[in-house]
Structure 1
Amino acid sequence: MAADGALKYDGAIKKQRGVLFDVDGTLIDSSYFHAMAWWQAFRREGLDIEMSAIHRRVGMGGDKLIQSLVPDCTEDMQEELKSAHSAVFSTFWPTLRPFESVQDLLAACSDAGLAVGLASSAQDRDLEVSRHILDAGSSIDAWTSSNDAEESKPAPDILLACLEKLGLTPEDAVFVGDAVWDVKAGAAIGIPVIALTCGGISEAELRDAGAAEVYDNPRHLLERLETSIIGRLTAGRRDA
């Protein structure tokens, strides 16, 4: 594995299909910590934004989250907000935990012959912490960070970057996420999205956004992996 998260095969057989995973709120129980960090960042700038409004936008790129909540935000203030969010969120690192059965889910996908990618748009230092928390070892074939995407979700840039590192096309992959923005990003390039409600977004909202399947959490998906889109992808087809 290259340091930048690109997959190196060294003569091994290239995996022909794969599954991409969002990280925050999907594999790691961090969505509400992000909401809290943004809330505190806004308060530092004298902005009183309701926590519920922030939470519903977690999963967007930070730039789009800010623009959505503070349309007249200046470029300087946006940078201050991002910096404050990053600083506050880092104080939560020791508290972060993976959801139940995450390691088993990632291992099951890898053992089934699928390439596994972390399609994260987190900053590099946050992603390093997340990878340490996941402790998934060789189950993960490639990963991305905010440096790999020109535009943040719901734009599909980060998914395309992860697919490129895995050497796959959208037709060969499934994406697992927890936010409406994940579903929209997948739809933009024709990747079916499995949505998990453990990030705090309801099944109804995720299905309305276009999620192909919805499960409670990684453990729930693992229990039904064989009959899920991922199971069908392993069998060589991706039809619903």
Structure 2
Amino acid sequence: MSDLMPGSAALPRPPAPAFVFDLDGTLVDSVYQHVVSWQEALAEAGIPLATWRIHRKIGMSGGLFVKGVQRETGIALDAEQVERLQDAHGRHYAARVAEVQPLPGAPELLRHLTAVGIKWTIATSGRRTGAEPMLAKLGAPADLPMVTRDEVARAKPDPDLFLAGAAKLGVDPSNVVVVGDSIWDLLAARRAGSLGVGLLSGGYGQDELERAHAFRVYEEPGDLLTHIDELGVRGA
């Protein structure tokens, strides 16, 4: 039986939301590989910084990460030293890429979205060289319109990555669900005009993610998949 009142016209159904995912700590379990890689890069440069302070900056662009390090340590670095530091992080992380695996439920979540006709992509503040090997591990198509740090002027917490992801999907940012694991993801999502959803799999607490305006917080991708209806995604 129809739920419409007699004489009423059916309203046009709004489009289903598209999804733009962060990568590290959101779809793949790589946060601590990044933490250790930054720790080793900083040690090479003779910069002492506690591991927990490094973790709090994961999700930022490399440039903002280094600015935060300089602020906290009081050590000034010139442009050449900054570039060497970022290159050293990339080198150490590349040696650990083989260790990185998808977070529980991530491939299944992406397959489900594809099966029910939901557009999705990945937007990461990592470089393409580090991000591309993750696509095969996630079962994502090689031609996925992924956005990486190489393609935008500014990374998180600026909105550029998520705006570019929405553009590649051909959708308005206001109809995008951004899924991330850090407060930097959620700040960038809000600035993009998108709905932010948080995951605990990157190490941030639920209260922190909610204070950064996460609409919902789930444990990891598999938990999000279990509750996917809460985000307006219907079955096939």
TM score, norm. by length of structure 2 = 0.87
Distance 1:219 1:18 in 2: 18
1:73-126 Cα deviation digits (max 9, x unpaired): 221111011000000001111111001111110111122221111111221111
Q: Which residue number corresponds to residue 36 of structure 1? A: 36
Q: Which residue number corresponds to residue 213 of structure 1? A: 216
Name the amino acid aligned to 1:188. Answer: R
Name the amino acid aligned to 1:22. Answer: D
* 1:155 partnered with 2:153: no
Distance 2:99 2:159 in 1: 30
CA contact (8 A) 1:16 1:168 kept: no
> 1:77 aligned to 75, 81, 106, which one?
81
Q: Which residue number corresponds to residue 128 of structure 1? A: 132
Distance 2:141 2:79 in 1: 39
1:43-83 Cα deviation digits (max 9, x unpaired): 10000011100101100000001101113322111101100
Q: Which residue number corresponds to residue 197 of structure 1? A: 200
Q: Which residue number corresponds to residue 186 of structure 2? A: 183
Q: How large is the RMSD of aligned CA atoms in angstroms?
A: 1.7
Unaligned runs of 5+ in 2: 1-14
* 1:96 partnered with 2:100: yes
1:18-64 Cα deviation digits (max 9, x unpaired): 10100100000000110110011001000001110010110000000
Name the amino acid aligned to 1:161. Answer: A
CA contact (8 A) 1:27 1:102 kept: yes
Alignment of 1:135-150 (within 5 A): 135-137=139-141, 141-150=144-153
SS in 2 for 1:86: helix
CA contact (8 A) 1:141 1:166 kept: no
SS in 1 for 2:157: coil
Q: Which residue number corresponds to residue 118 of structure 1? A: 122
Distance 1:171 1:103 in 2: 25
Pick closer, same or farther for the CA change 1:77–1:127 going to 2, 3 Å: same
Distance 2:147 2:25 in 1: 16
Distance 1:64 1:84 in 2: 16
Name the amino acid aligned to 1:31. Answer: V
Q: Which residue number corresponds to residue 9 of structure 1? A: none
After TM superposition, give the deviation of residue 233 of structure 1 in Å.
5.3
* 1:55 partnered with 2:55: yes
Pick closer, same or farther for the CA change 1:165–1:19 going to 2, 3 Å: same
Pick closer, same or farther for the CA change 1:220–1:17 going to 2, 3 Å: closer
SS in 1 for 2:158: coil
> 1:86 aligned to 83, 87, 90, which one?
90
CA contact (8 A) 2:59 2:125 kept: no
Q: Which residue number corresponds to residue 8 of structure 2? A: none
Name the amino acid aligned to 1:79. Answer: E
How many residue pairs match? The answer is 217
After TM superposition, give the deviation of residue 224 of structure 1 in Å.
1.0
SS in 1 for 2:120: strand
TM score, norm. by length of structure 1 = 0.86
